[in-house]
Structure 1
Amino acid sequence: MSQPVLSQPYWIIGLMSGTSMDGIDAALLRTDGETIAGFGRALTLPYPEALRAQIRGCLGGQGPTAAVSRALTAAHADAVRALLGQAGMAPADIAWLGFHGQTLLHRPDARPRRSWQLGDGGLLARLTGIATVSDFRAADIAMGGQGAPLVPLYHAALARHAGLAAPLLVLNLGGVGNVTCIGARDDDLRAFDTGPGNALIDDWLRRHTGAAHDEGGALAATGMVDEAALAALMAHPYFAAPPPKSLDRDDFAAHAEAITAGLSPADGAATLTAFTAASVARGLAHLPERPLRCLVAGGGRHNATLMRLLPGYLNMPVEAAEQAGWHGDHLEAEAFAFLAARAVRGLPLSLPGTTGVRVPVTGGRLWRP
């Protein structure tokens, strides 16, 4: 998908709802899809509990999805209007929306290969009056890629913008963990999903305490890591497989539930938190060079227990993305603004080193109001 567009920066709104399913991140970015010209306002609009429950009922492609898709898209339109209001901008000030949608199923190695994001790009364009780019993953999968992760090109642009030394590791901790290793050359990128991020911890808290997540890692901090359970968790074959590789939110759910059954709520939280850190560390073996430092984005960086564990497991300095001047809570939303500009210009969204796609490939689908 491409159309003639001058190579100049535009204000674009990126929209992301990650596998933690906590809500919608919306962020303004001024970009041409190659460089970053300016950062704008950003916000998070939590999902209403009823909508979150409806989305959960659709995970894995279960249940009727049409009505949930409309409700989810309407919630994204609300996020766009709220962001425009905060920024004092009008729809006419925005070139495009980058609309990721809510992932229900990610099976890039199945037959048929599939990655399904809930949401209607055409409806969002009509509701907001802003041209919308959606369906970012399909072209990559059709060309032999994993369809994920897609944020690495934005990580590289951020690193260039901030003048950060390479090699640099960027770790995103959403429901799933993923890393980008940025080398000295612009095209020297390696990326893959490392394993669980917050999803197993969140689900454990929901089952055992009723809380949506382990606020600040407080419950894990009171527990003890069960080393035998951790070793069993790390025996999963995913960790030995070389990249390219990516995960569905629930790929470890049955494995983890069987192994952690019988642990106390605190020990289970501690063990699953250590599992996330250990799986990131195991992924370093697949990188072509050892990074100098690790910057962490996503909701997992608010888990103080996890952030305390990571430097020891990774054996390198680990800092929140804010230490580089980045917006750690809204980095993925910014990324889909960046990718929307690239899609409209016909620039690659993924590379062989990031998703395993055969050649660099663009993607996305443009919807006009």
Structure 2
Amino acid sequence: MTLTTALGLMSGTSMDGIDIAAMRTDGESNVERGPSLFVPYDDAFRSRIETALQTAKAIKQRDERPSDLAELERDLTLRHAEAVAAFLANFPDWEPDLIGFHGQTVLHRPAEGLTVQLGDGALLAQRTGTRVVYDMRAADMNAGGQGAPLVPAYHAALAKSLSDSYRKTPTVFVNIGGISNVTYVPAAGDPVAFDSGPGNQLIDQWMQREGGLAFDADGAAAARGSVHQSVVDTYLQLPFFAQLAPKSLDRSDFDLSAVTGLSLNDGARTLAALAAEAVFAARKQMPETPKLWILCGGGRKNPHIAGDLRRLVQTIDGEVLAAEDVGLDGDATEAEAWAYLAVRSARGLPLTWPTTTGCRQPTTGGVMVQP
């Protein structure tokens, strides 16, 4: 089958910018990964998105854009168009046939069947002159699913692409962004996936509130702190962790109340330990004990999250490796996934399964718009 050249655009829960990645794929097992690029948001624009998270709480219907959300949606879309232009200026050989556009999630309430991603697919198609697939979560929710996570379809394809030395099924892909999610890939059958808990989100919020910093660069603050296990345990006793998968999270589902009162450094170290323990706890809802854990997303660069998880997994005779250790790009994985999902959507292939989101049957999704 002829491969489709696709670009994936991802602006995640960390709200720090736009990840762009290219690939050529048939939307199944044939995946040729291409270059990637990160285009950061300036502080003022990031602040607008943070404000939008509060404004979006008033939304009752997916198409509502109260207050200045419509203006923000347009501006965000135009920034994505500029990011595509910047990418193609650097990598002209990757002119896409198709763009997968995630947009910016500002509200995710799966219990209400409501998820909102800001992003005007038609405007992006017009500005880039390329077909755009967007709004890929809604169909899953309409089929009774959580609308997240969607990356597992791509994780399953990546697992098949690993060299023989790393095909240690079952394998778990761990994406540590603002929120962490896990994808369990068995030797045969559909993947199992769910959000596992907070990733970088609480650490970033803590550093912003207590230290005036955007994040804990290289885990420097945490390196000077100590873990308060009682605080970690308080978080792990929240109802979410007892809830059976599939399950997904909104940014507002966790807050800093349990860590309030700790020093800056102790708070950063404790929240890093929480991120690791939440991922490790996810194994209890997997069909078998995983042998290989592959870390993707920005959180894999936090030495405390990665180190704590590595020590925990060693207690069950498992191995933790960064995406780069197995020949992947941990920064680009989510953007790559959106390129891959766009091709699957164009071909009418499933994006989600009952084992990944709880949908009633394997479900495709997405809206395609022409330039």
TM-score in terms of structure 1 length: 0.94
- Does 2:195 match 1:193? yes
Q: Paired residue for 1:76, among 67, 74, 80? A: 80
How far apart are residue 39 of structure 1 and its match? Answer: 1.7
Which residue of structure 2 aligns with residue 328 of structure 1?
330
How do 1:15-30 and structure 2 match up within 5 A? 15-30=9-24
How far apart are residue 140 of structure 1 and its match? Answer: 0.2
How do 1:1-369 and structure 2 match up within 5 A? 7-60=1-54, 61=56, 63-89=67-93, 93-110=95-112, 113-163=113-163, 164-185=167-188, 187-253=189-255, 257-315=256-314, 316-369=318-371
Once residues 327 and 291 of structure 2 are traced to their aligned partners in structure 1, the CA distance between those partners, rounded to angstroms, is: 18
How far apart are residue 36 of structure 1 and its match? Answer: 3.1
Cα deviation code 1:78-105 (max 9, x no counterpart): 1111111111247xx3110000001001
Once residues 314 and 240 of structure 1 are traced to their aligned partners in structure 2, the CA distance between those partners, rounded to angstroms, is: 20
Once residues 179 and 279 of structure 1 are traced to their aligned partners in structure 2, the CA distance between those partners, rounded to angstroms, is: 11
How far apart are residue 216 of structure 1 and its match? Answer: 1.1
Which residue of structure 1 aligns with residue 64 of structure 2?
none
Give the conservation status (yes or no) of the 8 Å contact 2:225–2:269.
yes
Which residue identity does 2:120 align to in structure 1?
D
Give the conservation status (yes or no) of the 8 Å contact 1:169–1:179.
yes
**SS of the residue 2:111 aligns to:** coil
Give the conservation status (yes or no) of the 8 Å contact 1:170–1:297.
yes
Which residue identity does 1:176 align to in structure 2?
I
Once residues 31 and 362 of structure 2 are traced to their aligned partners in structure 1, the CA distance between those partners, rounded to angstroms, is: 24
Cα deviation code 1:192-239 (max 9, x no counterpart): 000001000000001111111111111111101112211111110110
Which residue identity does 1:298 align to in structure 2?
G
Which residue identity does 2:81 align to in structure 1?
A
Which residue identity does 2:279 align to in structure 1?
V
**SS of the residue 1:250 aligns to:** helix
| Greater mean deviation of Cα atoms: 296-305 or 63-72 | 63-72
How far apart are residue 8 of structure 1 and its match? Answer: 2.0
Once residues 42 and 84 of structure 1 are traced to their aligned partners in structure 2, the CA distance between those partners, rounded to angstroms, is: 10
Once residues 68 and 218 of structure 2 are traced to their aligned partners in structure 1, the CA distance between those partners, rounded to angstroms, is: 35
Once residues 233 and 347 of structure 2 are traced to their aligned partners in structure 1, the CA distance between those partners, rounded to angstroms, is: 47
Once residues 104 and 36 of structure 1 are traced to their aligned partners in structure 2, the CA distance between those partners, rounded to angstroms, is: 33
How far apart are residue 51 of structure 1 and its match? Answer: 1.2
How far apart are residue 350 of structure 1 and its match? Answer: 0.2
How far apart are residue 32 of structure 1 and its match? Answer: 1.1
Once residues 145 and 230 of structure 1 are traced to their aligned partners in structure 2, the CA distance between those partners, rounded to angstroms, is: 29
Cα deviation code 1:294-346 (max 9, x no counterpart): 00000001111211111122332111101111111010000000000000110
Unaligned runs of 5+ in 1: 1-6
Once residues 24 and 275 of structure 1 are traced to their aligned partners in structure 2, the CA distance between those partners, rounded to angstroms, is: 27
Give the conservation status (yes or no) of the 8 Å contact 1:41–1:86.
no
How far apart are residue 49 of structure 1 and its match? Answer: 1.5
How far apart are residue 365 of structure 1 and its match? Answer: 0.1
Give the conservation status (yes or no) of the 8 Å contact 2:24–2:31.
yes
CA-atom RMSD in angstroms: 1.2
Which residue identity does 2:42 align to in structure 1?
P
Once residues 282 and 307 of structure 1 are traced to their aligned partners in structure 2, the CA distance between those partners, rounded to angstroms, is: 15
**SS of the residue 1:232 aligns to:** helix
**SS of the residue 1:30 aligns to:** strand
Mark the CA change 1:37 to 1:188 in structure 2 (over 3 Å): closer, same or farther. Answer: closer
Once residues 292 and 314 of structure 1 are traced to their aligned partners in structure 2, the CA distance between those partners, rounded to angstroms, is: 9
Once residues 25 and 90 of structure 2 are traced to their aligned partners in structure 1, the CA distance between those partners, rounded to angstroms, is: 20
Give the conservation status (yes or no) of the 8 Å contact 2:145–2:359.
yes
How far apart are residue 47 of structure 1 and its match? Answer: 0.8
Give the conservation status (yes or no) of the 8 Å contact 2:168–2:292.
no
**SS of the residue 1:20 aligns to:** coil
Once residues 31 and 68 of structure 2 are traced to their aligned partners in structure 1, the CA distance between those partners, rounded to angstroms, is: 42
Which residue identity does 1:36 align to in structure 2?
N
Which residue identity does 1:204 align to in structure 2?
W
Aligned residues: 355
Give the conservation status (yes or no) of the 8 Å contact 1:146–1:355.
yes
How far apart are residue 161 of structure 1 and its match? Answer: 1.4
Unaligned runs of 5+ in 2: 58-66
Once residues 138 and 13 of structure 1 are traced to their aligned partners in structure 2, the CA distance between those partners, rounded to angstroms, is: 21
Once residues 240 and 38 of structure 1 are traced to their aligned partners in structure 2, the CA distance between those partners, rounded to angstroms, is: 39
Give the conservation status (yes or no) of the 8 Å contact 1:73–1:119.
yes
Which residue of structure 2 aligns with residue 4 of structure 1?
none
Once residues 97 and 210 of structure 1 are traced to their aligned partners in structure 2, the CA distance between those partners, rounded to angstroms, is: 36
